[in-house]
Structures are given as C-alpha cells and as structure tokens.
Structure 1
Amino acid sequence: MARGGGRFLDLSEGEREMKRLGQVLKNFEDGKDLRKQMTREIRQTANPVRQEARAAIRSMPSKGGYRKGRPLRAAIAQKIQIASRPTGRFVGVKITAGQTGSVRGFTHAARKTNFGRWRHPVFGDSANWVSQNGEPGWFDNTMLRNRPTFRRAVRAVLEDYANRIARRI
C-alpha cells in the first residue's frame, strides 16, 4: 500500500483525458453539474473494487477471542473509501484505506495488516510485546488485480462524457 494511505489506480492517459474533460466542462453553463455527474459515475465504477477490498480484509483469519469495542477487520473495511478529482493538481481516482485510530489505538491497522506482520504491547504493557500476523497484500493485490478492468470502466465513462461534449459543440 502506498505510504500516503492509499493506492492510486494509475490511469496515465486516462488521467490526462479526465483533466482535459474537467477543464472543458468548466466552460459550459451546466458544467459544474456535468462534472459532478461524471465524478459520481467514476466513483460508481470504483465501487466493486472497494467492495472486493472490503471483502478481502473481512475474510482475513482472526485468532483473537472476544474484544471489547469494534472488531478490527470491520473497522478497517469501513475506512476503505473512494476519492475522485476531475480537476486540479492531482487528477484521478484513488481508493484509500484510512486510519483506524478509534480501534484500540491501532492507528495504521490497514497498512500493518496489508504488510503482514506488526508488533504491539500486550494490553498497553510496554514491557510485554507480541507479534501479530495479518494477510500480506490483501489491499495491494486487490488493487493490482482489478486495475485493467477498472481502467476500461473509467475510460468508458470518460469517452461517454467526451461524446456528450462533442455533441454540444
């Protein structure tokens, strides 16, 4: 997983096309609404990838017993979000697994479970530490596996909006 807390689904040419479309849409009277619709449709194409990542973390084996508070895997799954920006400096679509600070103080749970192994003190006792194993690559592998399908879906949305713009000109 990228250090910034997410994995960019690199669209390369698609990103440039998305940026151009976003800039062109600014010139139309209803451009803001069209941009919102385009962003919404792109986010919808990313939703199956997000759901697959959520399923991957939920299916990670758990060796722990009963814990007070929210389950760790459910908290990580809830923090998997989609961000889409059609204009500006960082154009693109990003799926992130955010921080989970509210779950037993385990702030970077998504990153550490994706890495595969982490250490922590037992019940906050700094003299007694244990290692725990996660599911290596549950997030990264899901993103990499879905990249080609996702690129095609985003490209289809961008082409649809490019055709809409072309019909207006």
Structure 2
Amino acid sequence: MAGGGPPFSLRVETHDGLAALVRAIRAEEDGKELRKELAKNMRDALKPGAQEAKSSIMSMSSGGLRTSPALRSSVAKKIRPEVKLGGRWSGARVKAFKTKNVRGFPNAPKRLNRASGWRHPVYGNREVWVQQRGKVDWFDRSFAGREGVYRAAVEQAMEDMARRIAARAR
C-alpha cells in the first residue's frame, strides 16, 4: 500500500475506462464542468478513507510534552484525497503529503508509519541520538480490507458520469 517514495498513498488504479471517459468529457460542450464534477465525485468517494487515516494518526499517543506546532494534527491536515484526470497518471488516491515547516520534520507522515521509526538528536545535546517510533502502520491499517470498497465507489462515480454523457447522446 505505502508507495516506494514519499509521499505515500493508497492508490485506486483504474482501467482504460477512465481514459475513455475523460476523452468523452473533453468532447462535450461543457466538458470542463463535467471534468470538475467527475473529479469532485471521485474525491468524495475517497473522503471516508482519508477521514479514517486522519482519525488513526490523531489517536497516536503523544509524548506528554506540549510542543508547537502539534505533530499529529499537522500530519492529519496533510492527508487528503487526490484525483488526476489525464496526463502521465490518471486515477484517484488518498495521499499523505509532506509536512513542511513542522519541527524540521518534513517526512513525518512516512516516518510515523514505519516500524523502524526515525533517529534524531536529543534536544540540547547534539552528541546523543535517540531512536523514536510513531504509531506503526497508522496509514496502512486505515485502508486494510476496504480497498475494494473505495475502488467500487470511485468506479461508481465514473459509471454515473458515463451514463450521464450517454444519456445526452440519445
């Protein structure tokens, strides 16, 4: 599930039908609006998964220190569904984006998910390093067993748009 490089994501790979659907939308007079609507419907289909991932990272225990900015909420804000129609890659995915300017820890979503965690120097003592772990597989567990549900929801959004375009042709 987690991709090979940052940022990681759950990806719903679609078949050639998406490319054909996008071509049909472009041929329509109001194709730009139809494309926007299709993308919105596909994002809406993945929102429950994104919400589950956000809830999963927010349930991670904190170290008890009051530091700012808050790591868990910063990571949760960077989780969102993404849809691309056309270009090199077409499809829908839930993605955890990098957390820029959060305690100098841009790869927080990826590192918090890893079993091996990450290393960092102890505050105030640059010679002592510690190994720290987050909530292992918080992103992956959010989607485990439900990939088919999200794939079906995205494909349903595509089917609805295809039916709508076909109905216009009659």
TM-score (structure 2 length as normaliser): 0.91
- Specify the SS of the correspondent of 1:7: strand
- Runs (4+) off by over 4 Å: none
**Shift of the alpha carbon at 1:99?**
1.2
Identity of aligned residues (%): 34
2:91 is matched with 92
**Shift of the alpha carbon at 1:45?**
0.8
Whole-angstrom CA distance in 2 between matches of 1:113 and 1:93: 23
1:104 is matched with 103
Query: In angstroms, what is the RMSD of aligned CA positions?
Result: 1.5
Letter in 1 for 2:76: A
**Shift of the alpha carbon at 1:96?**
1.3
Q: Does the alignment pair 1:160 with 2:157?
A: no
Decide whether the 8 Å contact of 1:119 with 1:130 is kept in 2. yes
Whole-angstrom CA distance in 1 between matches of 2:49 and 2:10: 12
Deviations 1:72-101 (A, max 9, x none): 101000011221012222000121111113
Q: How does 1:66-85 map to 2 (within 5 A)?
A: 66-67=66-67, 69-85=68-84
Whole-angstrom CA distance in 1 between matches of 2:14 and 2:154: 12
Decide whether the 8 Å contact of 1:42 with 1:154 is kept in 2. yes
Letter in 2 for 1:23: R
1:7 pairs, out of 6, 9, 13, with 9
2:149 is matched with 149
- Specify the SS of the correspondent of 2:87: coil
Identify if the C-alpha distance between structure 1 residues 11 and 103 changes in structure 2 by more than 3 Å, giving closer, same or farther. same
Whole-angstrom CA distance in 2 between matches of 1:44 and 1:125: 47
Whole-angstrom CA distance in 2 between matches of 1:7 and 1:148: 15
Runs of 5+ consecutive residues of structure 1 not aligned to the other structure: none
